[in-house]
Amino acid sequence: MKGPDAERAILTCADRLFYERGIEGVGMADVRDAAGVSLRRLYLLHPSKRHLVAAWLEDRHNRWMVWFRQTVERRTAEGTDALLATFDAIEEWATSPGYRGCAFVNTLAEVSEIDETHRAIVRTHKRALIDLLAELATRDHPDGPPWLPGALAVLIDGAIVRAAIFGSTTPIADARSAAARLLEVPPCP
Amino acid sequence: MKGPDAERAILTCADRLFYERGIEGVGMADVRDAAGVSLRRLYLLHPSKRHLVAAWLEDRHNRWMVWFRQTVERRTAEGTDALLATFDAIEEWATSPGYRGCAFVNTLAEVSEIDETHRAIVRTHKRALIDLLAELATRDHPDGPPWLPGALAVLIDGAIVRAAIFGSTTPIADARSAAARLLEVPPCP
DNA sequence: TTGCGATGAGAACTCTCGTTCTCTAGTATG
DNA sequence: CATACTAGAGAACGAGAGTTCTCATCGCAA
């Protein structure tokens, strides 16, 4: 196996394993077996498990943001308000097999294997979500209140975590209803 | 040390340690040292770490619900709308030292040491939160939409997790602003 | 006093896991 | 063909943790 192929296989398998079982539930030998590389190559590419986790988080952040933006755009093209479409994207995700909530929130919860590098990536991810929402709000709802992107981010993260806990899309539907209400014009004077 | 005292010491110390470091970051020896009991007594009272974790979750659930209800009531007595007071309670919590988000969400994220018993307690806890919100909504906002308690629960959980990630109360303020808007009368026809 | 059950302190056992080391095989080059 | 570098397979090592076991001690009843 060539270098780039091995790196892709490692990150792909690490993503599946870490998301499925949590960081502490996956050993380096598990990643080795799943990716079909030698332990030697694994450690040459990622000098320690911490490095591997950091590389995984970076990779997942990039792929998730691309997926989320594309899914929202697709729904928007079908006529849905862009900000409401974010909840449809989350619902798509939450109904996919193996859904376990937000990998970044889960990683932060596993405090014993996390370091400041990991924390920084998690913050970057959540900051990127709010930035994307602010971008959509500025474009489609320029008269909304200044706290709108932050509130939508809270609704999205709350829906992600409650959907994972209950294995249900009801929290996402509730959050979407609330968001729709927030996007309506304010009450008459 | 007597039986009840030992049990109290164990649960109190387990709460501090598990919440601070995560379940996997705490060994039975750590609990023994902190509680000042022998490993023998620890295992007599809780036959395994899973049992101890379950007992901790039950205890924390009970104490958290009592604290939350009391804090909301206190704020309500000071003139705040009960449903908005829930966000003030969360803000009090989030600004207290050692805040690390929701222990139940964090526990669910540590998938490798969790079993169905633990999952059930987490669901019970989150169900209890939404039930409390429904109770307050029925009492103070009987004309609100049916999704209101669910949406408030999503806002609260999202605020809890984002406040933990950013170490900031801004998400809680944003969530409170959104909740206030939701509680206003719907737009005029 | 003597014996017995309970208790505490902590050693010991077993297993897991991150990381490193060894040994072997293959391959490209002089 | 010989040699030297590379890479894979997996053993080995050391640390840590859950759980159990040993043994000395203490309190109390006969």
Q: Write the pLDDT tens digit of every residue in A57-80.
A: 999 999 999 999 999 999 999 999
CB contact under 8 A, B187 and A182: no
Residue B106 carries which side chain, given as an amino acid letter?
Answer: N
Distance in angstroms (rounded) separating the CA atoms of residues A149 and A162: 20
- Does an H or E element contain B97, and which? none
For chain B (189 residues), the mean pLDDT of every run of 10, in chain order, is 79 97 96 96 96 98 98 97 98 97 96 87 98 98 97 98 98 98 76
Q: Spell out which residues of chain A touch residue B187, defining contact as CB-CB under 8 Å.
A: 184-188
Distance in angstroms (rounded) separating the CA atoms of residues B52 and B134: 32
Average pLDDT over chain B reads 95
Whole-angstrom CA distances from A44 to A6, A9, A41, A153 are 11, 14, 5, 38
Q: Which residues contact A94 (CB under 8 A, 6 or more apart)?
A: A159, A160, A163, A164, A169, A172
* Å between CA of B44 and C1' of D25: 20
Distance in angstroms (rounded) separating the CA atoms of residues B20 and B97: 11
Distance in angstroms (rounded) separating the CA atoms of residues B12 and B112: 24
* Å between CA of B41 and C1' of C2: 28
* Percent of chain A scoring above 70 in pLDDT: 95
DSSP code of residue B19: H
Q: Which nucleotides of C are covered by protein (CB under 7 A)?
A: 7-11, 16-22
Place of tokens 């249900």: A168
CB A31 within 8 A of CB A10: yes
Given CB atoms, is B168 within the 8 Å cutoff of chain A? Answer: no
Q: Which two tokens stand for residue A186?
A: 């304010």
Place of tokens 């604290």: B67
Q: Which residues contact A130 (CB under 8 A, 6 or more apart)?
A: A149, A150, A153
Q: pLDDT for A90-115, tens place per residue?
A: 999 999 999 999 999 999 998 777 88
* Other residues' Cβ atoms within 10 Å of the Cβ of residue B84: 18
Sign of the Cα pseudo-torsion (A144, A150, A155, A160, in order): positive
Cα-Cα-Cα-Cα dihedral of B70, B76, B81, B83, to 10°? 0
Residue A112: per-residue pLDDT: 73
Q: What is the model's pTM?
A: 0.95
Q: How confident is the model at residue A2 (pLDDT cuts 50, 70, 90)?
A: low
